[in-house]
Structure 1
Amino acid sequence: MKNTDLHVISIQSQVSTGYVGNNIAGFAIQLHGLNHVMLPTVLLSSHTDKPVYYGEIVDVSLFRKLCKGIEEIGVGEQSKYVISGYIKGQEVIEATADFIGQLKQRSLLQFIYDPVFGDTRTEGLYIPREDAMYSIEMLLPLCDILTPNHFELEFITNTTISNEEQLKEAIGKHPILCNKTIVLTTAELSENVNHQVEVVLICNGKLTHYYAANVAIEVVGTGDLFTGILSSQLSIGKDIGEAIQKAMQLISSILQYVKDNQLTEMNAAAIMSSYSLLTD
């Protein structure tokens, strides 16, 4: 398939305004010349860091109809990757697992699971604990690549991870994770003495570290953006190391733009300012 024929299926939140979930992942996917197939899990007026927002979980019967329609027109066969992000509600989690399971039976696409249920910035979970546990139960076994932040990996492994040795041990002892490719997107390891942004690739027991300058600004949506770029880079034939480096490079550039222009969050101009990096 040519790149222009390729799709990336993205299952996550959608907002009326702002750049999180499908809004930011879809933008990244399309900038790679790929087709963004969006499945919303929640519909909100804005991201939840805003002082006021409205919306709700997508009705599960509607969600299943959208999945059915996508499947029946062969979108899975035109995709190399399906990604999932923020999902709230056990019925939608179960429907997502059913859909991805069916896709994987019918095609060779891979599943990138971004847990998106908590972080250290918010000091814990931002979905109900039972939803997070159900997400792990239903989606973790299906995934080929897992992209948790540090909090989420500790939650999944039910252990504290402070250094490389603990990271290796936590992955190696886990009955599912030991056989997965893991991209730890915001590693917080004691060995990182320069306090750079660190991403760690864990594959077959081997750790590979990637670093970027720490831009002193905090905005929502960067995890969703990372997974969108990663899936797109992999779809166009980059290996996972190259994909991680490109994602980090783009996000650093975007955050620098946000900081330089005294913005409080990402916007279209910030994202487009880094578009030239895709062609390097």
Structure 2
Amino acid sequence: MNILSIQSHVAFGHVGNSAAVFPLQRAGHEVWPVHTVNFSNHTGYGDWGGPLIPAEQVTEIVDGIERRGAFPRIDAILSGYQGGPDIAGAIVDAVERIKEVNPDALYACDPVMGNAKSGCFVSEAIPPLLREKVVPVADIITPNQFELGYLTGAETGTLEQTLAAAEKAQAMGPSVVLVTSVSRPETPEDTLEMLAVDGPDAYLVATPRLPFKRNGSGDVTAALFTGHYARTRDARSALAATASSVWDLLDLTHREGAAELELIKAQDFFAHPRLQFAVTKV
């Protein structure tokens, strides 16, 4: 699979393309990264250096890829955190141009807006852009449970509500919705779930909850699910492989006591998922 990944980049640590590209490569995909920022590190440190990449420069890079005759070869386009509202237009423009010459290409959007603990942490201009401009042209979206509710305006406190919210998201455009960090009243405290909805079918996987979080884990999740789904067009197997790889990555990172994701040490888990977690149809 050839995947065009339009995301942020950091030199130190692993978020955005710095989290997505290597796992996809180890999973056997060719990845063409286009950066939207070039920072020293993620902004969670409170201090960073480097520039935002203007939307017109992002488009110039996409234009150059087009001149290489590469658009017909792109199997999937992936996007993540959108630092400014101008980037949305550059991404949508790229998706529309690629789909003109290759209608089978998938567009996967990770609609990064926030989480249940921190609330919405992006510019107030971003959620409306995602709802009205970006999500409608996506084939796959990968929100966490909070973002799904924020995107659709629906409650997500129970499994039934989350499924209804995913159906509401599908009505906006995408046929596949991967919901991460699913929590519901009956979920044990030591368990975390992911839900994949593909058309009328929905699948749930549960993994042990680890007592920490690391920036970039959502970027790895969105990337691996996109790669697996682009290859198989099977949400169930894509969910199983993604949950396996991401949990092993996080478990290793936790055991190492590392401040950043241990992508390199975990690389065999991307190439050969252990598939240790059962996926159930709901």
Calculate the TM-score normalised by the size of structure 2.
Answer: 0.89
Change in CA separation of 1:232 and 1:181 when aligned onto 2, cut-off 3 Å: closer
Alignment counterpart, residue 114 of structure 1, candidates 83, 87, 110: 110
Moved more, 175-184 or 159-168: 175-184
Write out aligned runs for 1:1-280 (5 A).
Answer: 6-107=1-102, 108-121=104-117, 123-173=118-168, 176-177=171-172, 180-193=175-188, 195-237=190-232, 239-272=234-267, 274-275=269-270, 277-278=272-273
Distance, in Å, in 2 between the alignment partners of 1:275 and 1:236 is 14
Secondary structure at the aligned position of 2:57 is classed as: helix
**Whole-angstrom distance in 2 between the partners of 1:226 and 1:31:** 14
* Gap regions ≥5 residues in structure 2: 276-282
The alignment yields a C-alpha RMSD, in angstroms, of 2.1
Instruction: Find the aligned partners of 1:174 and 1:69 in 2 and give their Cα distance.
Output: 33
Pick closer, same or farther for the CA change 1:193–1:206 going to 2, 3 Å. Answer: farther
Distance 1:135 1:276, change over 3 A: closer
Q: 1:234 to 1:181 in 2, by over 3 A?
A: closer
Q: What SS class does the counterpart of residue 75 from structure 2 fall into? A: strand
Provide closer, same or farther for how the CA distance between residues 38 and 174 of structure 1 changes in structure 2, counting only shifts above 3 A: closer
When residues 57 and 136 of structure 1 are mapped into structure 2, their CA distance, relative to the original with a 3 A threshold, is: farther
State the Cα distance separating 1:199 from its structure 2 match: 0.6
Counterparts of 2:252 and 2:243, CA distance in 1: 14
Q: Which amino acid aligns with 2:180?
A: T
Whether the aligned pair in 2 keeps the contact of 1:111 and 1:144 (CA below 8 Å) is yes
- Residues 214, 205 of structure 1: alpha-carbon distance in 2 compared, 3 angstrom cutoff: same
Q: Which amino acid aligns with 2:27?
A: H
Offset at residue 106 of structure 1 (A)? 1.1
What do residues 135-172 of structure 1 show as CA deviations (whole Å, max 9, x unaligned)?
Answer: 22211111111110111101101132100222233344
Cα separation, partners in 2 of 1:207 and 1:279, compared to 1, 3 Å: closer
- 2:195 counterpart SS class: strand
- Distance in 2, matches of 1:23 and 1:49, equals 15
TM-score of the two chains, using structure 1 as the length reference: 0.90
Alignment check: 8 A CA contact 1:257 1:273 kept = no
Aligned residue type for 2:182: A
Equivalent residue letter for 1:47: H
Aligned residue identity for 1:204: G
SS at structure 1 position matched to 2:134: helix
Structure 1: state its 5+ residue gaps: 1-5
1:179–1:83 distance in 2 versus 1, CA, 3 Å = closer
Tell me: CA distance 1:216–1:83, structure 2 relative to 1, closer, same or farther (3 Å): same
Note the C-alpha offset of 1:133: 1.5
Q: Residue 232 of structure 1 aligns to a residue in which SS?
A: helix
Matches of 2:10 and 2:31 in 1, distance apart?
16
Tell me how far apart the structure 1 counterparts of residues 134 and 200 of structure 2 sit (CA, whole Å).
22
Matched position secondary structure for 1:183: strand
SS of corresponding position for 1:200: strand
Query: CA offsets per residue over residues 39-95 of structure 1, 9 Å max, x none?
Result: 111221101111311234211221111111112223222221111101122222111
Deviation at 1:33, TM superposition (A): 2.4
